[in-house]
Structures are given as C-alpha cells and as structure tokens.
Amino acid sequence: MALGMHVISAQNLVVEFPMYAAAHRSLKKTVLHASTGGRIAQDARDRVTVRALDGISFVINSGDRVGLVGHNGSGKTTLLRVLAGAYEPVVGKLEIFGRVASLLDIAMGMDNDATGYENIVLRVIMMGLSPTEMRTRVEEIGEFSELGEYLDMPVRTYSAGMQMRLAFAVSTSISADILLMDEWLSVGDAQFNEKASKRLDAIIAQSKALIIASHSPELISKLCNRGIRLQHGRLEEEFAP
C-alpha cells in the first residue's frame, strides 16, 4: 500500500441532515403521501435538509495539529463525527490511515448503575479494545482516576467531578494515531486537572495527528500548527494559528 505522510485525506465531503420535525418523522405522512396528492404529499417529499458540511476537502499529514474553528453550527462537531466514522458522508471521499480515538463525548456509554470498574470495562470496549486487552488496562485506569474504593460503587453515587475524572481516565487510556477532540477536556479540581493536562499532552505527543474543535484562539495557537475555519459547513480558510 502506498502510504505517504498523510493520515487523513478528505475530498469534497458533504453531509446532509434530513430535518424530521415530530410530524415529519411519522409514518402518517409517508402513508398519506402514498394515498393523497395534496399539500401533505408535498411535505413528505420536499423534506428539509440541512447541509452541515458542504464540499470540504483537506489533507492532514503526520505531525499536524489541526484546530477547527467556526461559529456554533458551522459544522465542527459534524466534521469530527465524520472523521470518527460515525457519520458517513453523503458525497465525497474520505481515507483515514491509522487508529482513531474519539474524545468527543467522553461520558459515552456510562452506565450510572454500574460500578466504576464496570464502567471502565464498558467504555474501553466501546473504544475498540478486546476484552482480553482491556483487562490489563483496568487497573491502570482506576489508579489514574484516583477514585480508590469508589470504583467499586455505582457511578450514580459519584459527584459530577468524580464522574468526569473516571470518564477522562478511560478515554485517554488508549493510544491512537489520530485524536479527535471537541474542546479541551478539563476535569476535576486544580490538582487533578494539571495531571489530566499532562496526560493529554502525552497522548497528543504520541499521536500522529490531532484535530481539535475549539472556540478558544489561545488554545488553538498554543496547541496547533494549522487552523481550519468553517462557516456554514464550508471550509472558509486555512490559517496559521
């Protein structure tokens, strides 16, 4: 396989969301559409779509630290989800070389009634580790979270800060080639946050590429060597942060 230095190449990515209002989403409209000809049918056919990404193209090379900026609703999170492989683009080509770690919603798959340890297992598996591989990591993750005996208690009993610590410890336990982040993860009290930042720095240093969406120009200029500005789903400009 011809593998250049690029880890992600995207060509003309288009993502469209169908907008189903509560009424639109129902079978009624579709069935009525089949049986009647009037305005309702028109409704069902001409459904409103929102173009969340509109012809985005870029190449990300090994070593790139890319900051995604743009207003709310400009398509940053959608783009990250496309890169994570969750949303498949309607049009366009996307190639990703390497293992992707998605830190978009670090509380994903948390089960409030399960214990801390069980949640570590659930989450790690969802991130792509095999159950055997996972068993070796659980201790390390538990230790990092500093939750001690709480790990044997249901997550429901945790404070919000403790839940975040656990989620953070798990999410950042897997090394990956490509890291996707939606804003910098900041967790817990000052002391833990410092430790967390160090860990994030470490996994970023190990990764080949980082793509982070942020509203903070300082963060982007500190962290990134490339900036991409999105507006209304279009790639407006590339800039040096």
Partner 1 sequence: MELEFPKPVTAGAESSDAIYRVGFGQSRRSQAVQDIRSGLAAWDIWALLGWQDIKQRYRRSVLGPLWLTISTAIMIGVLSFLYGALFRLPVDVYAPFVGVGIVVWNFISMLLHEACNVFISVEAIVKQVRVPLTLHVCRMVWRNFVVFLHNALVVIPIYLVFGKGLHWDLLLVAPALLAIALNGLWAGIALGILCTRFRDIPPIVVNLVQVVFFVTPIMWLPELLSARGLTWVVSLNPMHHFVEIVRAPVLGTPVPMLSWAVVTAVTVVGWLIALALLERYRHRVPYWL
**Contact between 195 and partner 1 (CB under 8 A)?**
no
The residue among 11 and 231 lying less far from partner 1, judged by its C-beta, is 11
Contact 216, 191 (CB under 8 A): no
Closest CA to 126 of 106, 152, 141: 106
Find the binder of partner 1 among 44, 53, 127, 187 (CB under 8 A): 127
Find the binder of partner 1 among 6, 61, 137, 154 (CB under 8 A): 154
Closest CA to 120 of 181, 174, 166, 186: 166
**Contact between 113 and partner 1 (CB under 8 A)?**
yes
CA gap 224, 220 in Å, rounded = 5
Q: Say how many residues touch partner 1, by CB under 8 A.
A: 52
CA gap 156, 1 in Å, rounded = 48
The residue among 3 and 240 lying less far from partner 1, judged by its C-beta, is 3
Find the binder of partner 1 among 40, 87, 195, 197 (CB under 8 A): 87
Contact 3, 174 (CB under 8 A): no
Find the binder of partner 1 among 55, 128, 146, 199 (CB under 8 A): 128
Find the binder of partner 1 among 108, 138, 204, 219 (CB under 8 A): 108
Closest CA to 140 of 173, 185, 103: 173
For residue 158, give both structure tokens.
């945790």
Burial class (CB in 10 A: 0-12, 13-18, 19+), 195: middle
Find the binder of partner 1 among 129, 138, 204, 219 (CB under 8 A): 129
Residues within the interface to partner 1 (CB under 8 A)? 1, 3, 11, 17-18, 20, 25-28, 30, 81, 84-89, 91-100, 102, 104-105, 108-109, 111, 113-114, 118, 121-122, 125-133, 154, 175, 177, 208
